[in-house]
């Protein structure tokens, strides 16, 4: 039933779903679905054009927040969320999501995955509502490596899903996709920038897909426009070493164990077919690697001026 909130095609239908779900959720001691699924759906409908829907969503969010003894203090935003002025209710929408993300940060990866599941199925306005809801959650996320040196399951899921969003929607939602990548860089976890760049370069070396190079250019430019932008340049420069540039092959990018716990994971094979390979695919592909890295650096420097 929760999933129907994303699929409602009319305002009346959405209100009906909200009524039923509100009744079910508030009458049970233990919610029948994970809390992150509830938070995601309620944050999504918080972007509704209908004030009544926004108010019901805000009150349900406050109910679950208080039930879990969190201190988000959402009640002081209910007047603003009910306001019909978009600038006012959108600002309240963001602030509610921000407070919930701060108090429920342990659910951030699941919230991101749940929103990723529905993102491409929705129209542009609803995708923008998802971006507005997602930004505070992404800012709480710390990307990490596992003991073997690869990205953890949660970090892999987020990066692959975000790359899929970039491939599918950066042309029509350029500023929104940019904001999602930048949220990883402007949060408190400074290591995110280098991990993103390392992962993208390794993915390109593994997939040998020219389209991923174009995606990487976008990502570098997005990140370079944040305060951590200089780290983007420094990280790329450190990887261009005359002694090793002809030897570096990159590591194979494998799907780590544990990704099955998330509601959605993009398929690399579907979004990155190897039909447009990078030139120079031989065993000694240092020239292609250097060309890729210098292209990214030049592109990012050009956009910082």
Using one digit for the tens of pLDDT, what is the confidence trace for 268-278? Answer: 877 655 445 55
Q: In this predicted structure, what is the pLDDT of residue 95?
A: 97
Return the bridge partners of 151, or none. 145
Q: Out of 19-23, 129-133, 230-234, give the one with best mean pLDDT.
A: 129-133
Q: Does position 108 have pLDDT exceeding 80, yes or no? A: yes
pLDDT at 286: 46
Domain ranges, ordered by start, for the chain = 1-140, 145-305
Across the chain, what does the average pLDDT equal? Answer: 84
In whole angstroms, give the CA distance from residue 121 to residue 106: 26
Q: What is the mean pLDDT of residues 83-90?
A: 96
Rg of the chain taking only CA atoms, in angstroms: 21
**190 compared with 233, residue with greater pLDDT:** 190
**What does 20-34 look like in DSSP terms, one character per residue?**
HHHHHHHH-SS-SS-
φ/ψ (deg, to 5) at 11: -65, -40
Report residue 130 as tokens. 């998802």
* pLDDT confidence of residue 288: 47
The string of pLDDT tens digits covering residues 171-184 is: 999 999 999 999 99
Q: Is the pLDDT at 290 greater than 70, yes or no?
A: no
Give CA–CA dist 164/181, Å, rounded.
Answer: 12
Token digits of residue 96: 């509610």
Q: Which residue has the higher pLDDT, 244 or 103?
A: 103
Q: What is the pTM of this model?
A: 0.88
pLDDT at 130 over 90: yes
Rounded to an integer, the average pLDDT of 69-87 is: 88
Q: Is the pLDDT confidence value at 247 over 80?
A: no
Dist CA 97 CA 243 (whole Å): 48
pLDDT over 70, % of the chain: 82
The CA distance from 106 to 270, in Å, is: 30
Contacts 24+ apart (CB under 8 A), 286-294: 286/245, 286/246, 286/247, 286/248, 287/246, 289/205, 289/245, 289/248, 289/250, 290/240, 290/245, 292/201, 292/204, 292/213, 292/216, 293/201, 293/236, 293/239, 293/240, 294/240
Q: Does 287 score more than 50 pLDDT?
A: no
What mean pLDDT do residues 143-172 have? 95
> What pLDDT score was predicted for residue 282?
43
Extract the tokens encoding 116. 């990723």
Q: What is the pLDDT of residue 292?
A: 57
Find, among 43, 61, 54, 41, the residue nearest to 133 by Cα: 43
Helix (H, G, I), strand (E, B) or coil at 151: strand
The set of residues, in sequence order, having a beta carbon less than 8 Å from that of 42 and lying 6+ positions away, is: 57, 60, 61, 64
């Amino acid at each position: 039933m929760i999933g129907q909130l994303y699929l409602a095609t009319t305002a009346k239908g959405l209100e009906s779903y909200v009524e039923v779900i509100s009744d079910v959720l508030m009458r049970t001691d233990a919610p029948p679905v994970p809390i992150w699924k509830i938070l995601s759906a309620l944050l999504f409908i918080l972007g509704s054009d209908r004030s009544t829907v926004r108010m019901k969503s805000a009150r349900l969010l406050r109910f679950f927040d208080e039930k879990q003894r969190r201190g988000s203090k959402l009640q002081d935003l209910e007047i603003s969320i009910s306001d019909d002025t978009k600038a006012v209710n959108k600002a309240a929408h963001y602030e509610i999501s921000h407070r919930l993300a701060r108090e429920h940060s342990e659910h951030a990866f699941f919230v991101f995955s749940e929103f990723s599941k529905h993102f491409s199925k929705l129209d542009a306005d609803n995708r923008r509502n998802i971006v507005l809801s997602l930004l505070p959650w992404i800012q709480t996320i710390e990307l990490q490596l596992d003991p073997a040196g690869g990205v953890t399951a949660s970090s892999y899921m987020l990066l692959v899903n975000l790359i899929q969003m970039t491939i599918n929607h950066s042309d029509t939602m350029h500023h929104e996709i940019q904001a999602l990548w930048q949220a990883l860089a402007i949060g408190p976890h400074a290591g995110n920038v280098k991990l993103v760049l390392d992962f993208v370069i390794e993915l390109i070396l593994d997939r040998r897909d020219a389209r991923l190079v174009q995606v990487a250019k976008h990502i570098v430019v997005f990140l370079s426009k944040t305060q951590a932008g200089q780290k983007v340049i420094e990280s790329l420069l450190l990887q261009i070493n005359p002694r090793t540039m002809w030897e570096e092959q990159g590591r194979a990018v494998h799907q780590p164990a544990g990704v099955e716990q998330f509601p959605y994971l993009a398929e690399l094979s579907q979004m990155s077919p190897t039909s447009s390979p990078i030139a120079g695919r031989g065993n000694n592909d240092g020239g292609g690697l250097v060309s890729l890295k210098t292209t990214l650096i030049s592109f990012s420097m050009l956009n910082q001026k």
